Amino acid sequence: MVSSTALLLQRLHEQSQIEMMARARAQYPGSNEAFLTLAEEYEALAPRLRGRFLETLGLSSEDFESSQGSSLLLAVSAETGRFLRNMVLSRQPARILELGSSCGVSTLYFAEALRTLGRGVVVATECDALKCAHLRTHVEAAALDAYVDVREGDVFETVAKLDGTFDMVFIDVWADTYLRLFRQIEHLLRPGSVVLADNMYTAEDAVRPYKHYLDSDPRFSTTTLDFESGIEFTVVVS
């Protein structure tokens, strides 16, 4: 039997896909036929090529993927969601920090895994009040309230008030803020903590300072996972 959470996630993924296609279509100046052809080409590309493909069309992934300044659902894909869920099941983190929760699709994957484990909490941060309202509604509908701590407001102000340590972090905010935000949360990490950052391919130029910082510091072991929009998988070594 399919769970109520799985049905909710399926609906949210379908809604997100429709909204994303509509936003992409609005950004593209060509005909509907040309747009559909380009959409097929985009889906067929290797993930690491997608950001550059958008650039050749004069488009930016952040024009329609960023969680800021938009009422769009902007969900992670089902594939990314399953990856996040499996990361939680394998690592069994006590505390997860989600930076940029949007309407809570990735939050649901984290929280559902924590419910399976029977312990843990995900601190879900989001600056947009409407998205936070949707996030809370989705968490309540999935009966996952016990595993989610929603923090509404500016993400930099939010993390400045956090204490303790986090076993896992997921970054999915404006790509050009990744490095600044990561440096602000470094003191919340411990050896063995895992940091996952989305959009490493689709926002390649914007995330380059973050990637360079990780690559050049022996305190971190990092690699870019070659699927979906590109996920940076970092382990804190020391």
**Structural contact between residues 178 and 197, judged by C-beta atoms closer than 8 angstroms:** yes
Closest CA to 176 of 65, 81, 73: 65
Q: How far apart are CA 101 and CA 133, in angstroms?
A: 12
Q: How many domains does the chain have?
A: 1
At 88, phi and psi to the nearest 5? -65, -45
Identify the domain containing residue 79 by its residue range: 1-238
Q: How far apart are CA 219 and CA 30, in angstroms?
A: 47
Write down the pLDDT at residue 70: 47
Write out the E strands in 90-219.
Answer: 95-99, 121-126, 148-152, 166-171, 189-197
Q: How far apart are CA 130 and CA 201, in angstroms?
A: 28
Write down the pLDDT at residue 44: 80
Positions in the chain whose pLDDT score sits under 50: 1, 64-72
Write down the pLDDT at residue 2: 62
**Structural contact between residues 91 and 116, judged by C-beta atoms closer than 8 angstroms:** no
Single pTM value for the model: 0.88
Q: Is the dihedral of CA 57, 206, 79, 99 positive or negative?
A: negative
Q: pLDDT, tens digit, for every residue of 153-195? A: 999 999 999 999 999 999 999 999 999 999 999 999 999 999 9
The CATH number given to whatever domain includes residue 116 is: 3.40.50.150
**Structural contact between residues 173 and 199, judged by C-beta atoms closer than 8 angstroms:** no
